[in-house]
Amino acid sequence: MKIAVCVKHVPEGTSRIDPGTKRLDRAGEGALNHFDANAVEEALRLKGDSDTEVVAVSLGPQKALDSLRKALAMGADRAVLVSDDAAAGSDLVATSRLLAAALAKEEPDLVLFGQQASDADGAVLWAAVAERLGRPVVSQAMELSVDGGTVHVKRQTEHGYDTIEAPLPAVVAVSDAINEPRYPSLKGIMGAKKKPQDVLSLADLGVDAGDAGEAGSRTTVLALGDPPARADSQKIEDDGNAAQAIVDFLAEKRLI
């Protein structure tokens, strides 16, 4: 069996929007999206001691290889990065197209996603990729097992749990409640350097440049603006009388 895990390289710390490009500023340090670490861990658990191959797949700039190497250090067997200048600025539509093309090339039996990315929190990419691949998709998986040609998922909902079965090949988005991701060992970190790390261009995937990046996207950010300032606000400095000042303010507003 082959399991592909889609992972994302996200900015560390507080994300900011570049006012020039109106896109997320990715110039600083980045890391493996922590939701995707759960997906990598689950793939490794499913693999166990079998001959299952775990492939980490990502779309991004060259530095996204850092996050793929963490997946390799955790235990993934191989990494595939789709990286092309023409892919910069890809929205959900274009991103799903590129990832689906990479996954179609790999032909995995099971595709795992983290539930969402910490830089966007969209939680819909896995559904878009599954639609393009024509595969069944299950989200919010908190338990996962594979039996023959069927994937069994216990799905967390607002009202309890669903138990769902789907035929392979399939796409599953796992929640962060499914497991506790392992820390890469020193041996794993050193071994990751020797594992295959393929970098693919749009041409390698057979995707036209017009179907990627801003040209292939269907969403446009028209403007950015600061949130409106709060009216009638009062700042109280604590010089030893802050508590009394707050009480006086609330009394003035007839709130106490």
In angstroms, rounded to a whole number, what is the distance separating the alpha carbons of residues 206 and 221? Answer: 28
Where does the pLDDT of residue 234 fall: very low under 50, low under 70, confident under 90, or very high at 90 and above? confident
Q: 126 — alpha (psi -120 to 50), left (phi > 0) or beta?
A: alpha
Residue 247 has pLDDT above 80, yes or no: yes
Closest by Cα among 9, 71, 66 to 37: 71
pLDDT at position 122: 82
pTM of the model: 0.85
pLDDT digits (tens, 9 = 90+) for 59-107: 999 999 999 999 999 999 999 999 999 999 899 999 999 999 999 999 9
Question: Strand pairing of 160-167 and 197-200?
Answer: unpaired
Residue 14 has pLDDT above 70, yes or no: no
Amino acid code (one letter) for 194? K
Q: What is the mean pLDDT of residues 211-219?
A: 92
The three-state secondary structure class of 91 is coil
Higher per-residue pLDDT: 22 or 183: 183
pLDDT at position 93: 95
In angstroms, rounded to a whole number, what is the distance separating the alpha carbons of residues 181 and 37? Answer: 6
Residue 250 has pLDDT above 70, yes or no: yes
> Which range is most confident: 92-96, 220-224, 226-230, 251-255?
92-96
Higher per-residue pLDDT: 239 or 205: 205
**How many Cβ atoms are within 10 Å of 68's Cβ, its own excluded?**
27
pLDDT at position 180: 96
Amino acid code (one letter) for 39? A
Higher per-residue pLDDT: 242 or 20: 242
pLDDT digits (tens, 9 = 90+) for 117-145: 988 788 899 999 999 999 999 999 999 99
Q: What are phi and psi of 18, to 5 degrees?
A: -75, 115
Query: Per-domain residue ranges for the chain?
Result: 2-211
Closest by Cα among 116, 106, 112, 160 to 137: 112
Give the DSSP per-residue string, 237-249: --SS-HHHHHHHH
Closest by Cα among 74, 59, 77, 31 to 179: 74
Mean pLDDT for the chain overall: 92
Q: Which CATH class is domain 2-211?
A: alpha beta
Residue 173 has pLDDT above 80, yes or no: yes
Closest by Cα among 26, 131, 89, 82 to 216: 89
Where does the pLDDT of residue 239 fall: very low under 50, low under 70, confident under 90, or very high at 90 and above? confident
Q: What is the mean pLDDT of residues 175-204?
A: 95
pLDDT digits (tens, 9 = 90+) for 27-62: 778 899 999 999 999 999 999 999 999 999 999 999
Residue 19 has pLDDT above 80, yes or no: no
